[in-house]
Amino acid sequence: MKLSEADVVRYRHVGHLTVPGVFGADRTAAIVADIEAWGEQFLADLPPAQRAWYVDGGVKARSVLRKLDNPHHHRPLVRELARDPALVQLVEAFIGPGVSVYFSQIFFKPPEGGGPKPAHQDNFYFGPNDIEGVITAWVALDDATLENGCLYFGDGTNQGPVYPHEAPADEPYNLQLPAEILARQPMSPAPVLRGGVSFHHGNTFHQSGPNTSTRWRRACALHYVNRDTFFEHPALPYDESLKLRIS
Ligand SMILES: O=C(O)CCC(=O)C(=O)O
């Protein structure tokens, strides 16, 4: 799968690009089955002190996960996804050859209440030595729509600075951009069908809404770095030993 020059120019200009149809339905279904099984076990073993971090507070009727960390390390199927040649070719077109997955996340965004993710910049969380060396490949495992909480992006914010973030006292993991900065920045939705990949630059403002629908909005976010980039001053702890060299 090859990007046109116009695609790359657009990515550099607005800081994100959606590429449809990178993965087929069999592949996304297999990953969904795998993360569901992992999630069930993870939830059963979850110590009470960590529930606030991992359980989705928006779904009141039952306990359901908000996210899981480092699937590229824990799940062979996700490792294979991260190494998929078509995906790696796209990642290298944006950040150059010789890439690794430094961190990864499954976002579950469950139906009927899955909570929003406030606007943020990944480069505030990761604190890389080179802001241009980080890209997130957000693989849609379900169709992501306005109703079930697709991503929204701030066009062109990749060309601006990384701003200080703040977090509510009871949600230290929910680092987010201050309201006065967001007030100046329109955010546009980026719906994507299952199997498509939404790429964003580490500085690009992004957020997702609540899931008000009856359908899941699961996604796998793979945070890649190029060979010269590492997390120099991260805002949260990231385990560098889980870094997976891909190319
Ligand atoms: O999937 C979401 O709702 C948030 C995704 C995100 O913040 C990311 O991939 O960096």
Contact 211, 146 (CB under 8 A): no
Residue tagged 């914010």 (tokens): 157
The tens-digit pLDDT sequence of the chain (247 residues) is 789 999 999 999 999 999 999 999 999 999 999 999 999 999 999 999 999 889 999 998 889 999 999 999 999 999 999 999 999 999 999 999 999 999 999 999 999 999 999 999 999 999 999 999 999 999 999 999 999 999 999 999 999 999 999 999 888 889 999 999 999 999 999 999 999 999 999 999 999 999 999 999 999 999 999 999 999 999 999 999 999 999 9
Q: Which residue out of 206, 220, 236 has the highest number of ligand 1 atoms within 8 Å of its CB and is therefore the one to mutate?
A: 206
What's the confidence (pLDDT) of residue 171? 85
CB within 8 Å of 137: residues ≥ 6 apart: 87, 90, 91, 197, 198, 199, 221, 222, 224
Closest residue by Cα to residue 204 from 19, 11, 9: 11
Tell me, using a 6 A CB cutoff, whether residue 136 lines ligand 1.
yes
- DSSP SS3 for 91: helix
Residue nearest to ligand 1 atom 7, measured at CA? 207
A 10 A CB-CB count for 179 gives 10
CATH number of domain containing 189: 2.60.120.620
Going by C-alpha positions, the residue among 94, 107, 162 that lies closest to residue 133 is 94
pLDDT given for residue 65 in this prediction: 97
Ligand 1 centroid distance, CA of 52 (Å)? 18
| pTM to 2 decimal places | 0.97
Radius of gyration in angstroms for the set of CA atoms belonging to the chain, rounded to a whole number = 17
Q: What span, in angstroms and rounded, lies between the C-alpha atoms of 190 and 122? A: 17
238 lines ligand 1 (CB under 6 A): no
Instruction: Tell me, using a 6 A CB cutoff, whether residue 107 lines ligand 1.
Output: yes
Secondary structure class of 119 (helix, strand, coil):
strand
Structure token digits, residue 39: 């999630």
Based on the structure, what is the number of domains in the chain? 1
Residue 17 pLDDT: 98
Structural domain including 83 reads 5-245
- Cα 238 from Cα 70, distance rounded (Å): 10
Going from the Cα of 25 to the center of ligand 1, the distance in angstroms, rounded, reads 21
Residues 6 or more apart whose CB falls under 8 angstroms from that of 96 comprise 133, 226, 227
Separation between Cα atoms, residue 131 and residue 41, nearest integer Å:
36
User: Residue 149 carries which DSSP code?
Assistant: T
Backbone angles phi, psi at 9, to 5 degrees: -60, -40
Three-state DSSP state, 157: helix
* Residue 107 CA: distances (Å) to CA of 22, 138, 179, 185: 19, 10, 24, 24
Considering only CA atoms, which residue is closest to atom 3 of ligand 1? Answer: 208
| Nearest ligand 1 atom to alpha carbon 117 | 3
